[in-house]
Amino acid sequence: KNMAHHGESLALDDLFSKIKQLLAVEGDFYLLMPYKRNEELTGLLDKYEFSLLKKILVRPKTGHAFSRIMLAGQHKGNMPSDPLMEEISIKNESGQYSPGFIQLLKDYYLAF
């Protein structure tokens, strides 16, 4: 957990380099990252000539600050220039999973 949180074993630059190397021309990539790396991710998308399909900002609970960012992207030129932007909260004010979170992860999360 500590290695994942601090990102010392795989630099984002190395990750984007591998995505660039391995991603098919028409392929998509998906990332789930800490929100604090949002600016770094934006710079690397430009550096490696990727465009976003979708960007989802994730809050742990309604009213809290963003904690995660979810990205879907492709090589530049494969899609329209305006990505879909969304915000979701994992839990609502009463501590229940939010409808947006359930919809997004219902096929993968056993709790639903």
> Are 19 and 44 contacting, i.e. CB atoms less than 8 angstroms apart?
no
pLDDT at 104 over 70: yes
The closest of 2, 30, 3 to 15, measured between CA atoms, is 30
- pLDDT tens track for 75-90: 998 766 688 999 999 9
Q: What is the pLDDT of residue 15?
A: 95
Q: Under 8 Å CB-to-CB from 102, ≥6 apart: which residues?
A: 109, 112
- pLDDT tens track for 44-103: 999 999 999 999 999 999 999 999 999 999 999 876 668 899 999 999 999 999 999 999
